[in-house]
């Protein structure tokens, strides 16, 4: 879902870009475009990193030599540590995802606001031209 939001932002940057007269070309803000592309890369890589980490954890568990008999208390403590580590990792991933989502929403809001302000300005300019043309008659 994050990718779709970033693609929407990319599209709005393209659509809001200045057009070169008498051509189908546009002038784009290189920094904005590269920033969005970097964010898309991070989202794509983030998904694969999560899968790699999960696979690595499972491999480590399978390859770990079995210790001599552990007491129930030791087993419970080891399980508690594992649960805490997993919870910490999950909370970090959730925070990172929330930050990416907030940035995506703000970028979309910024693009929409820019379009709205541009429309308002064009309407006011047209109104000003009409008013001045009417008063000259």
Q: Give the residue from 3, 1, 8 showing the smallest Cα distance to 39.
A: 3
Range of the domain at 129: 2-136
Q: What is the domain count for the chain?
A: 1
- Specify the pLDDT at position 1: 55
pLDDT of residue 55: 45
Three-state DSSP at 124 gives helix
SS3 category, 53: helix
- Give pLDDT, residue 71: 84
Look up residue 68 and give its DSSP letter.
S
pLDDT digits (tens, 9 = 90+) for 8-29: 888 888 888 888 888 888 888 8
* Exposure b/e, 5-15, CB count within 10 A at least 16 = b: bbeebbebbee
Residues of the chain with pLDDT under 70: 1, 47-68, 134, 136-137
The span from the CA of 131 to the CA of 125, in Å, is 10
């Amino acid at each position: 879902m994050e990718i779709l939001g970033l693609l929407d932002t990319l599209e709005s940057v393209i659509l809001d870009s200045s057009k070169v007269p008498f051509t189908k070309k546009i002038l784009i803000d290189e920094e904005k475009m590269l920033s969005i592309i970097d964010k898309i890369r991070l989202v794509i890589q983030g998904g694969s990193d999560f899968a790699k980490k999960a696979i690595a954890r499972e491999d480590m568990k399978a390859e770990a030599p079995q210790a001599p008999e552990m007491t129930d208390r030791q087993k419970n403590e080891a399980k508690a540590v594992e649960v805490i580590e997993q919870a910490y990792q999950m909370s970090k991933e959730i925070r990172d995802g929330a930050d990416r989502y907030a940035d995506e929403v703000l970028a979309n809001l910024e693009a929409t606001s820019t379009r709205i302000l541009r429309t308002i300005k064009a309407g006011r300019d047209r109104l000003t031209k009409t008013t001045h043309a009417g008063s000259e008659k």
